[in-house]
Copies of this chain bind each other. A is one copy, B any other.
Amino acid sequence: MIEAIRECLGQEMEADNRVVVIGEDVGVLGGVFRATDGLQARFGKDRVVDMPLAEGVIVGSGIGLAMSGLRPVIELQFLGFGHQAFHQIGQQVARLRYRSQGRHSLPLVIRSPFGGGVRTPELHSDAFEAFYTHTPGLKVVAPATAYDAKGLLAAAMESDDPVLYLEPLKGYRLTKDEVPDERYTVPLGKLRVARAGADVTLIAWSAAVNVAERAAEELSEQGISVEVLDLRSLNPLDIDGVSESVAKTGRVAILHEAPLTGGFGGELVATIQQECFYSLEAPIIRISAPDTPYPLGGVEDLYIPDVDRVVAEVAALAKASA
């Protein structure tokens, strides 16, 4: 997947010289995960900029760059360090268009890896997406496949709204689906049916989609047919796409890496039970991390929901009586 992101950045920078990439270690090093590898050599130090270590001004100056007529792509080295820029993202990026009554559009993309499973140090692995989905004015996308990574990033960079683009740390090297060479976009706000099924709708995004797919495979051996939805975009949310699936299955499980309480799963449950109340045959279940901080790497496999757990909980859901 990391290659798809890098390729997309290169193509967009080639096509539009207003695109600049800024962040910690994005230049000479090419990013700690090499998402921007080679870009500085290709486009110069002005367009791929190693920033001082200060997330607040990285994001805040990105706003200013956009105001000057550029289209900045900001890399936050890890989403956990978005907290340092939270006032700029939550109150400035998300609101500039509204606060200026449309005078200042903000074509700005914040890319950031997030999520666990690769034994990073503390505070590097948290799945903090829910903070940003509660931030009107900001769009949030989280691709699970390399194909979508490329197409959604292109769409995000094309958009005149600010977009938080979340990359699954775990999927960087593991996810290796086919990616066309040419430029294409995947629309923001449309989910992907990752696997069709009839008994249970299993909703996930980012790295959890892969867990969901593997669980669905195992469940199919138990005779349970699971439809896996890859949301791709958390805001805008494809409510129609979700409802369509739920109307068919009547049973829903939501899978996410973040802690239960206040996770984006709650929003999905609330929306689904509103839209599909009379189709539901059992309570919607949430499969998530517990309400505790992300732990050290040695126990992260106990923290993040794994295939076994998803299989067990979805199997129980499939059997729950109406």
Contact = CB atoms under 8 A, between A and B. Distances in A.
A98 B293 contact: yes
Given A283-B274, A283-B277, A292 B98 contact: yes
A241 interface: no
A76 interface: no
Interface residues of A, number: 47
A261 B133 contact: yes
A159 interface: no
Contacts of A308: none
B266 A270 contact: yes
A136 B293 contact: yes
A86 interface: yes
Contact of A267 (B235, B261, B282, B284): B261
Contacts of A173: none
Most buried by B among A235, A270, A274, A291: A270
Contacts of A81: 87
A102 to B, nearest CB: 13
B273 A269 contact: yes
Interface in A85-100: 86-87, 90-91, 94-95, 98-99
Contacts of A266: 266-271
Interface in A106-148: 122-123, 130-131, 133-137
A285 interface: yes
Given A133-B262, A134-B258, A134-B263, A285 B274 contact: yes
A282 B293 contact: no
A274 B284 contact: yes
A172 interface: no
Interface of A: 80-81, 83-84, 86-87, 90-91, 94-95, 98-99, 122-123, 130-131, 133-137, 235, 237, 258-259, 261-271, 273-274, 277, 282-286, 291-293
